[in-house]
Amino acid sequence: MKINFIKPVYAHCDLPCGVYDPCQAMIEAKSLQAILTKYPGLDDHAKQRAIIIKEERAELVKKHLMILWADYFKEQHLEKYPNLHDLFWQAIKQASKVKQSLDIENANLLIQKIEEIEKIFNETKAS
């Protein structure tokens, strides 16, 4: 993940009523990635806690993505990004996959999906 695509993320906290930012979903996704990286080395008790926390964090990813999709994006964005609906649907389903498995690859793919959303989000903010 390069620093340069992150910059614009912060530039857009000045929205009129709501302040949307894909970094809310990204922070939770990074947390899921960190949990799954550490998982194999954990003791039994910590492993059980990891699964509880994984459920919670993946749920938060879904919640943040859904707010972004339903509240931030408008008709005009859909015209420019016709795959927007499907991208969000895939990202949210990917968060469910992180819940359903211990494979870190699922967290990596989730982060990729959120990066795609961030890219579009930043473009809509810049224009």
Among 28, 72, 104, 107, binds its own copies (CB under 8 A): 28
Q: How far apart are CA 114 and CA 32, in angstroms?
A: 13
Nearest distance from C-beta of residue 108 to its own copies, angstroms: 13
Q: Of 61, 51, 7, 53, nearest to 29 (Cα)?
A: 61
Q: Does 24 bind its own copies (CB under 8 A)?
A: yes
Among 92, 104, 107, 110, binds its own copies (CB under 8 A): 92
Site for its own copies in 51-90 (CB under 8 A): 51-52, 55, 62, 66, 69-71, 85-86, 89
CA dihedral 68, 71, 72, 73 (to 10 degrees): 100
Residue closer to its own copies, measured from CB, 66 or 109? 66
Interface residues toward its own copies, by CB under 8 A: 1-3, 5-19, 21, 23-24, 26-28, 30-31, 34-35, 37-38, 45-46, 48-49, 51-52, 55, 62, 66, 69-71, 85-86, 89, 92-93, 96, 99-102, 118-119, 122-123, 125-126
